[in-house]
Structure 1
Amino acid sequence: MCRHNTSICATQPRFALQQFHRSSTAAAQVSHFLVASGVVLFVVAVFGLCVSWRLRRRSGDGATAERGARGCGVYGAMALVVMANVIISSAIVYRYVMQARLDVDEDLKYAMYQYFVDASSRDKLDSLHREFKCCGVKNYTDWTMATAGAVLGGRNASSLLKMAKWGEGDPRWIVEERPDATNVNNWHWTEKNASSWSKDKLAELLTNLEVSDSRGTCKIVDMPRCDGDAVANNRKAKLIFFYEWVIELKWAGETDDSDETIEGTVEIPNLSEEHDPEDVDVTVTVSSSSDKADALKELMRSKGTDLIRERLAAYISALKKGTMSVVPTV
């Protein structure tokens, strides 16, 4: 299934999987009902068997006794056949339905794995998430167990709280600012776009960052890529921050015994509210191959990454302090 064709898995509509789970749940309930029906029929058959047996034993008439004997045989056979058929068929249905459900869940978990390791799968999944205004990448069960939201009268996926691109949200989510009304007690959801501020702040904190030791000196000289969004949301006077950034930095360095400039890059693929600064991935690469290049790369990897994470923590702190004005002072 998805293990052999990731594109199919990545483009499978979420509500189709939800419908499959509803169907499998209904089938399991039907199998339970069949088992219960079999038990009831078995009880009826046993009752009829007992009546026929008593009729046979208490009747002095040979014909009546014969009818009682036939009744015993019929009810006994019915009890055995019905009970066996219902139990066997129900067990088979339940087994295959639950196995299919487990297979779908496994394929979804594999799709989640592909999301993080394969760029093409990630692009397809991101397109799907934007189309349905949903994410689901926090937990694969958001795809399988959540309904299509308020349209179907069910619950939304928990990771719907994960930020959508600014401007791509449903306008119904945000309360319109009106000159004749006030957001009393900060009840309604409000948003403040902090993306532009964040890009400037990240550039300020990360560029010109310098680290040195006996091996040489390295300095971050540019931030060619900073893709993502940052939003501060208010609900009932409570601030909720969402940010998600993919950052690429360029660094250059020199060893103490040479004027040769060594260049490389630093990639930060997962700066988001889901990760603490110390858990953010920081990958250092170098553009050349030599002992000096390896020494400076190790300098950036050992000391530079710690300093970068400190600056990322400073950005998060500044984001929260700088967007406190999202809460009205009414």
Structure 2
Amino acid sequence: MNERTERAAGVVVRAVGRLPDPVLRVLAGRPHVVDGQRLYPEVQVALRLRRVVRAGEEEDVARARARVAREARLLGDRPQVGRVEDVTVPGTRGPVRARLYQGDPDVPPDGVVVYFHGGGWVLGDLETADPICRAIARHTKLLVLSVDYGLAPEHPFPEGLTDCVDAFRWARGAELWRPGVRLPVAVAGDSSGANLAAVVSNLTRDDDGGGPAFQLLMYPATDLTRAYPSEKLFDGYALAAARLGWYRLRYIPDATLMADPRVSPLLTDDLSGVAPAHVAVAGFDVLRDEGLRYAERLRESGVPVSVQVVTGHVHAWANATAASRHSIEALAEAVRPLVAALRRAADVRGVGDDA
């Protein structure tokens, strides 16, 4: 897709998202219902236009990365925020690039959320995560630290995970707003990034400095060892079931590691004491069932957890804020428990404490 075509596609996609509901229902045609869930009309129309926005399921990593970058430009809104700063996180594998966002640098923040982007551990970067991170920063009093962790196949498991753990631990001890002020830290992510956020929460639970104050998991991949019913029900709604295998093969070249809890957090023996969580899934998503099952596992382990099912949307809805009003509403709903948890943690700690 050349630059002119991309701009035209962007205009179309954004225009569709702004149409009144009655018009969208006419354009969408007959309601699409699966498993008791009705696809949102704007999503139904967008899927019809998918060939304009998306160039198929490329098997080449470089082309797939270019496609994801293009989709981020087309579908993601980029609101203005007061602070956007590229930073470097010292990691055990070497420096890790990151980007820090804040809506208003003059307003005392309630905390920090370390954000891990999606993309199957293979695709995505700071630019593709930029719309989500800007949205969170603009509409909350949080600092957002987006992490550019190592991607497979160049950096297979556990290299990218190591970068994420290092980034959380660094943020936990850093003074990211003002000298002398340490803030409570949460983790968040979407899709494979939510997988990483969950694993970081589990691996750092017993740290001397403590694990995250909260974990926001949006349509997380939690079990790479088996297929759940939603994988068949919603194959091809923005994410094809076959694509899951494409990602897994590149992230985990050794199939015997699929059951490692650092890969499949659902298989963690003991989840008690990990960070409170909000799990948000899409109704029409191959990952829906394993996300819901992870929420159940957390609840069974005594972990406070809330669940959000965006019934009429598809995988990666948080990336479509420029094209879907339901994406905007769903992201706002997903972020509320995160904000509340960090605000409570900040009240307990007291802004300005060194602890």
TM-score (norm 2): 0.24
Largest Rg, 1 or 2: 1
Q: Whose RCO is larger (CA < 8 A, sep 6+)?
A: 2
TM-score (norm 1): 0.25
